[in-house]
Amino acid sequence: MHSLILALKNAFRNGRRTLVTLLAIAFGLAAINLFSGYVANVYKGLEDLAVMGERLGHLTLTKRGFWLEGKLDPTPYLIAPEEAQRIENVLRAAPHIKHVSPRLSLNGLASNGRASTIFISESIAPEDDQALGGSALGYSNGQLDARNEMGVAVSSDLAKLLNLQQDTVFSLLSSTFDGQANAVDAMVTDVFNTGTASTNDKFILLPLKLAQALLNTDAIERFVVVLDDAGMTETMGEQLQDKLRAAGIDVEFRTWKQLSNFYTQVKSLFDVIFSFIASIVLVISAMSVANTMSMAVVERTREIGTLRALGLSQNGVIRLFALEGFWIAAFGCLLGLVLTLVVALGINLAQIGYIPPNLSTEVPLQVDLDWLRIVSTALVVTVFAVLCAAYPAYKATRHEIVDALTFV
On whether both 327 and 252 belong to a single domain, the answer is: no
Choice between 47 and 154, residue whose per-residue pLDDT is larger: 154
On whether both 80 and 143 belong to a single domain, the answer is: yes
For the stretch 61-85, pLDDT in tens is: 999 989 888 878 889 999 999 999 9
Choice between 233 and 400, residue whose per-residue pLDDT is larger: 233
Q: Which domain covers residue 79, as residue numbers?
A: 57-256
- Confidence category of residue 274, pLDDT binned at 50, 70, 90: confident
On whether both 43 and 128 belong to a single domain, the answer is: no
On whether both 73 and 21 belong to a single domain, the answer is: no
pLDDT at 311 exceeding the cut of 90: no
On whether both 275 and 208 belong to a single domain, the answer is: no
On whether both 112 and 222 belong to a single domain, the answer is: yes
> Average per-residue pLDDT in the chain?
86
Helix spans in 94-207 (H): 126-132, 156-161
Which of 137-151, 202-216, 249-263 is predicted with the least confidence, judged by mean pLDDT?
137-151
Stated pTM of the model: 0.75
User: What does 302-342 look like in DSSP terms, one character per residue?
Assistant: HHHHHHHHTT--HHHHHHHHHHHHHHHHHHHHHHHHHHHHH
On whether both 105 and 221 belong to a single domain, the answer is: yes
87-94, long-range: CB within 8 Å, 24+ apart, which pairs? 87/61, 87/223, 87/244, 87/249, 87/251, 88/223, 90/240, 90/243, 90/244, 90/247, 90/249, 91/61, 91/223, 91/225, 91/240, 94/236, 94/239, 94/240, 94/243
On whether both 80 and 169 belong to a single domain, the answer is: yes
For the stretch 193-228, pLDDT in tens is: 887 778 889 999 999 999 999 999 999 999 999 998
> What is the predicted pLDDT for the residue at 139?
54
Domain stop point among 232, 256, 280: 256
- Assign 363 to helix, strand or coil: strand
For the stretch 84-119, pLDDT in tens is: 999 999 999 999 999 999 999 999 999 998 999 999
User: What is the average per-residue pLDDT within 347-358?
Assistant: 82
Q: Give the number of domains in the chain.
A: 2
pLDDT at 367 exceeding the cut of 70: yes
Domain stop point among 212, 227, 256: 256
On whether both 198 and 331 belong to a single domain, the answer is: no
What's the CA gap between 128 and 141, in Å, rounded? 14
pLDDT at 368 exceeding the cut of 80: yes
On whether both 214 and 133 belong to a single domain, the answer is: yes
On whether both 248 and 267 belong to a single domain, the answer is: no
Domain stop point among 256, 286, 306: 256
On whether both 179 and 197 belong to a single domain, the answer is: yes
